[in-house]
Amino acid sequence: MFVLKVKKQEEIFELINNKKTFVFICEGCNEIFLYREEITKFLDSLSKENIIDTKIVDYICNPEYIKNYFEIFKKTIDLSDIILIFSCGVGVQTANKISNLPVYTGCDTLHIPGYKGVETVADENYDCILCGNCYLNYTANICPLTSCPKELLNGPCGGAKNGKCEIDNKKDCSWEKIFEKLKKYNNFEKIKNEILTRKF
Amino acid sequence: MILKDIFFKKFVITAEIGPPKSWQVESLIQQYKKYLTEKIDAINVTDNQASVMKFGSLGMSILLKQNGFEPIYQITCRDRNRIALQSDILNAAFFGIQNLLLLTGDHPIVGDHKNAKPVFDLDSVSLIYTVKNLMQGYDLAGNKLSGEPPKFCIGAAVAPETEYLDSQIFKMEKKINAGAEFFQTQLVFNPEKFIKFINIVRKNFGKIPIMAGITILKSVNMAKFMNENIPGINIPESIIKQLELDKEKTKSGQKGLEIAANIIKDIKPYCEGIHIMPLGWINKIPQLLSLAEL
Ligand code: SF4
Ligand code: SF4
């Protein structure tokens, strides 16, 4: 599931800056976490002259699809000065490649937790940054890279308080959880005997 | 002087200083000469402590060394990757720095440059292991150093009064296996808990030098703040009551000194030294040491 955040309204206002704007909202990934209401409300707050057209589309990250969209919506795109896109960073980059108009993004891509392609609705609590050297066998299947803000591989930083992470007290300390799990299964050997380092 | 030469021969005393947010640090040396000479074996220099940008710990350690002090150069993994860390450590060796305290470090988000990139390429354990390799003549990638390997005494940190003692002991073991030669602890306020910790350490790891963290409490608010915000710290109600009793004595520092001196006396037979974190009150260190009969 992608998690996207709509940028601050002032920021988008500044980007548009009274230019005639064509808006794409991408809803290709059906597991996408996109603030549709926030976008609609924001667009409604703009003057009608500013927004030439708004289209909700699928998979603008697909080069073929986005090419088609530019053809299908040619009439209104040609009347516009800029393209504003609400999608993940990949979609924006793909659209940018073929657009003759300046492209702006209205979103921040926060993360793609557990993203397994468009067919799967993955558990948003698990994330993988595809580090290429999976440590899950050492860490009781809790990913230390995506769940610990310091990305620690060799044990907790010692900063947890009441089970919560020292960086973010709304989240559990993943290393204390790892430790509990390892304790439960008495499975310390592997992590105790090896000093782990990242392979970038 | 390398610390491993004096552990078990004397009760080792170290004190911590934090460099200022300035490049004009020379005037501080006079202050250190006044308060940190007698009885202090070595001075820890913090590395942009609490992720607040300051004068660097390497430069300050060199300056201390040049002025006749024995620095303990603190290094965190927050700001530098493994190349920069190893390179800085070679620099330290050239300037005669022999004692290191190797830490993971705080996250930038707690400091004054919240948008900084948190590096954490290595962590405390792998940094200790890296220095151990350097001491054997190899860098972390296994390349041979030319010339003689550097000589260091590797220090590490541990929190003896944490609510998660098991995972602390686990990490301590990893640090010892990686090459840690002594430990400086988080602040100690409960001698009983500390002694319990020491017993576990002796049972599991034998004679590894442990230096107990000591501070001088300045106020009730400071104590409460630390309890709420600083991990691994546990100031008991009895100490807070003592601070409340005589506001004047607390404000002047007298009460804080008495509390700290009593803690030192209680734990002295169980550890190899103390590490004083004066949090701005370095002028009170001589008084603390005489009150504690050191
Ligand atoms: S350690 Fe974490 S980021 Fe790396 S492959 Fe495994 S789950 Fe993914
Ligand atoms: S408190 Fe736990 S999760 Fe948070 S940075 Fe430290 S080890 Fe990682």
Q: Does the ipTM surpass 0.85?
A: yes
Residue B144 DSSP label? B
Judge: A152–B166 Cβ closer than 8 Å, yes or no: no
Q: Which residue has the tokens 């913090």?
A: B46
Q: Which residue has the tokens 């948190």?
A: B118
> What pLDDT does residue B151 have?
98
Atom 1 in ligand 2: residue holding the nearest Cα? A165
pLDDT at B208 over 90: yes
Residue B153, strand partner residues: B99
Position with higher pLDDT, A41 vs B186: B186
B107 — phi, psi (to 5°)? -75, 145
Contacts of A188 in chain B (CB under 8 A): 170
Residue B12 DSSP label? E
Instruction: Report the distance separating Cα A113 and Cα B10, nearest Å.
Output: 54
What is the number of the ligand closest to the CA of A160? 2
Report how many helices (DSSP H) and strands (DSSP E) chain A contains, helices first.
8, 6
What is the number of the ligand closest to the CA of A151? 2
Which value, to the nearest 10 degrees, does the dihedral of the CA atoms of residues A95, A101, A105, A111 take? 20
Q: What is the pTM of this model?
A: 0.88
CA distance B252 to chain A (A): 31
pLDDT at A117 over 70: no
Spatial contact of B100 and B72, defined as CB atoms under 8 Å apart: yes
pLDDT at A122 over 70: no
Residue A7 DSSP label? P
Q: What are B235-288's pLDDT values in tens digits?
A: 999 999 999 998 899 999 999 999 999 999 999 999 999 999 999 899 999 999
- Domain range annotation of chain A: 1-134, 135-200
Spatial contact of A131 and A145, defined as CB atoms under 8 Å apart: yes
Instruction: Report the distance separating Cα A117 and Cα B98, nearest Å.
Output: 53
- Domain range annotation of chain B: 3-291
Judge: B123–A154 Cβ closer than 8 Å, yes or no: yes
**Region label for A89, one of left (φ > 0), alpha (ψ between -120 and 50) or beta (otherwise):** alpha
Judge: A192–B123 Cβ closer than 8 Å, yes or no: no
CATH topology of domain A1-134: Rossmann fold (3.40.50)
CATH topology of domain B3-291: TIM Barrel (3.20.20)
Atom 2 in ligand 2: residue holding the nearest Cα? A173
pLDDT at A113 over 70: no
Q: What are B273-283's pLDDT values in tens digits?
A: 999 999 989 99
Q: Is the dihedral of CA B289, B290, B291, B294 positive or negative?
A: positive
Q: Give mean pLDDT, residues B166-172.
A: 96
Nearest Cα residue to B195 out of B289, B268, B276, B274: B268
